[in-house]
Chains A and B, each alone.
Chain A
Amino acid sequence: MCVAALVAVSGGCTGSVESDVRFRINLEGFNPAEVSTEQRQHLVNATVAFFGTPDEPYVFDGTGLDAKKLQMAAGPSWSDEEGVHRGLYRKHCAHCHGISGDGAGPTAIFLNPYPRDYRPGIFKFKSTQRASKPTTADMRRILHHGIPGTAMPSFALLHEDEIDALIEYVKYLSIRGQTEQMLVSRLVEADEELTRDVIVEELTLVVDTWNEAESSIITPPERPPVDTPAQLAASIDAGHKLFLAKEKSQCVNCHGPTGLGDGGDDKVYDDWNKIKLDKPAADFALPIQRLLPRNLRLGIYRGGRRPLDIYRRIHAGINGTQMPEFGPSPSNPKGALKAEEIWNLVDYVLSLPYEKSSRVHEPASVAQRARF
C-alpha cells in the first residue's frame, strides 16, 4: 500500500499537466437562448485563433503586446521544473478577477465592490480623460498601491518584472474581452460571419483606444499656493461653497451636504451592474450590486490620496460610475468648472476628514435629516 501511494504521488507530480482551462464565453447583455451552439463555437474559434488560451496566450501582431511578459503571466501557477517562471496572473489575480478577467473569480461573490471586470475596457482610477483607457503608469500605480477601501491589495512587494508581466496580461485580457464583446454584437445582432477581416477590424479599434491613452493624460494647471494657513483656509472655504452650489457642481446631490455620501435618494448602479437591471440573475456571474456615493469624511481615497489624484477624479469623473466629469474634455472643451475651482474642491475634500466638529452644517431639507 505504501508503494502504491508513492507511485501515485510521483505519477501525479510530473511536469506536463494537460490543463483544460478555457476562457469563459461572454454573452452578458444577450439572451443566451438566442445564441446557437454553432454561433458559440464560431465565437470560440475566432477568439482562440486571435488570442489563444489561458495557458498559451497568442499575441496578434497588431496588438503591440509583449509576448514574453504574457508568457510569464499566463499558464498554471506552479511548475515542478526548475527556473520556469509562469502563472503570475493565476497565482495573484485569478481568484478575484477570474481566469477570463471577468471580475467573477471564486472570491468575488464575497466582495463589495466586486473586482474589476476587464472585458468592457472601462477602468475607474486613471490619469486620463474619462472615456480613455488607463496608461501603463496608471496600472502600475494600482498594482503598487492597491485600491484602499476595497479588496484590491498592494503588490508592491512583487519584483518589478512580475508587475510588468501582470500589467501586460491585464491589458491582454481587456483587449481580448472588448474585442469579444464587439464580435458577439456583430455575430448575434447583425448575424455576421466572423471573418479574419471582421476580427482584425474590431481588434484594431480596441487597440487604438489603448494606444491613445498616453496622449489623453490630464495635466492640471499649477495649483494656486496654499502654503500659509490663511491661503489654505481660503481655498477650503471656496471649495466648500462650490461643494454646496447645487447647480454648478452638483456635489451635494450625491455626496450630501456633509459629504457623507447620503445625498441621493435613488438607487444608482455602475456600468458593470447597470446591465443586470431587469434581467434574469442567471445570465450573470454575480448578483447586482448597488453603487453608493463616496463618504468623503473617511479619508480613504480609492484612486489615490495625492491632490493630483483628487483633481483627476473631479476633472474626469470616474469612468463607469455616476461620478461626472467637471473639467474640459474632448467632448466638452469648456468644462463645468475652472482649474482653480477644481483645486479649491480638492482642498475642501482633503480637509473633510479633519474638519472640526464645531463646524455645523444645515442639511438642505428636513427630509434629508430624516434619512439618518
Chain B
Amino acid sequence: MGKLASLFFFAVPIVGVGFCYWALTNGYNFPVDISVTGHRIDHLFWFIAALTGVVFIATEGVLAWFVWRYDGSRNPDAAKFAHGNHNLEVVWTIVPAATLVFIAIYQMNAWADAKMRPPDMDPTVEVTARQFEWRLRYPGADGKLGTRDDVHHVNDLHVPLDTEILVSLKSADVLHSFFLPNLRVKQDAVPGMKIPVWFRAMEPGTYDLVCAELCGWGHYKMKGRLTVESREDFEAWLAKKYQEQSATQDAPAEEAKSEE
C-alpha cells in the first residue's frame, strides 16, 4: 500500500483526539446541567469516553504501525501464518470482558437512583405524551390528580425551583420519550404504562423538553418548554391557569395575549 497510506492511518487517532479537544474548548459541550444528580451521568459518560478513548488510540496506533512495518514494498517474503496463541487469546478475551463487567457494576447505583428508587411522594404533574405534543395535568387545590379541579395545559411545563419533582409519565398513543437535556432525564413513555420520572432543578430559567423516541412524522417538532421558577411564581402561575380554565366570561382585552 505504501508508507504514505500508513500516515493516513496514523492521522485517524490524531485527528480524532484533536477534533475532540477543539470541540470541547470551543463551546461544544453538554447542555448546562441544572440538576442535582445529573453530574453522575456526565461522569459516567466521560469515564467511558476516556476508557474507550485509550483503547481507540492504542488500537489505531497499533493498526497504523502494522501498515507501516509490514508494508509490502519492504517485505517481499511471503506471509507467515501462526496457528494462534492460546494465552494471547485468553488475555484479550478476559480483559475486555472484565472491563465491561466493571462498567456494568460501576453504573448500577446511578441507574438505580435514576430509575428504580422513586421518591415517596404524590406526582407534581402528570405528563401524557401524545403525537405530537406534551399534555400536562397538574393536581388542583385538592392535591389529587384525576379530579375536577385539575389544571390542564400543553407543552409549557412549569416546576418550582429546588424541589423534588415527580412526573407521572403516560402515553396516549405510541412510544415517546420524555427528555429534559438540562436535567439529564430521559424516559420512554410507553402506552399502557404510568412511569415515574423524578428530578430536582436548581437553576431558574427556561429549558428544552424534547421527544427522544421516534413517534411519527411530527417527532422532530415535538418540543415543549420547561420553566423552572420560584415556588411563589409557580403557585401564582398555576393559580392563574386554573382561573383561566374556569372562565365563564372573556377576560378583558389582554386575555388572549397574556395566555401562554
Contacts and interface: CB of A to CB of B under 8 A. Distances in A.
B158 to A, nearest CB: 13
A154 B134 CA distance: 9
Contact of B248 (A110, A144, A151, A223): A223
A220 B133 contact: no
A354 interface: yes
A368 interface: no
A296 to B, nearest CB: 15
* B interface bracket (residues with beta carbon within 8 Å of A): 20 to 34
A160 interface: yes
Interface stretch (B38-46, B52-60, B89-97, B217-225): B217-225
Nearest to A95: B217
Given A146-B133, A354-B147, A153 B246 contact: no
Given A141-B256, A306-B244, A306-B245, A146 B154 contact: yes
A308 B256 contact: no
Most buried by B among A95, A153, A222: A153
B247 A307 contact: yes
A292 to B, nearest CB: 18
Interface string B142-179: 00000110001011100000000000000000000000
B77 interface: no
B224 A157 contact: yes
A44 to B, nearest CB: 31
Contacts of A153: 132-133, 155, 218
A178 B148 CA distance: 41
Interface residues of A, number: 30
Contacts of A146: 133, 154
Contacts, number: 65
A351 B147 CA distance: 10
Contact of B250 (A127, A151, A351, A354): A127
A234 to B, nearest CB: 16
Nearest to B255: A137
A219 B132 contact: no
A107 B220 CA distance: 14
Given A146-B133, A148-B135, A311-B248, A140 B154 contact: no
Interface of B: 131-133, 135, 147-148, 152, 154-156, 217-218, 223-225, 244-250, 255-257, 259-260
Given A153-B132, A351-B148, 20 more contacts: A95-B217, A107-B217, A110-B217, A137-B255, A141-B259, A145-B154, A146-B133, A148-B154, A156-B154, A156-B155, A157-B156, A219-B249, A219-B250, A305-B152, A306-B244, A306-B246, A306-B247, A307-B246, A308-B247, A350-B148
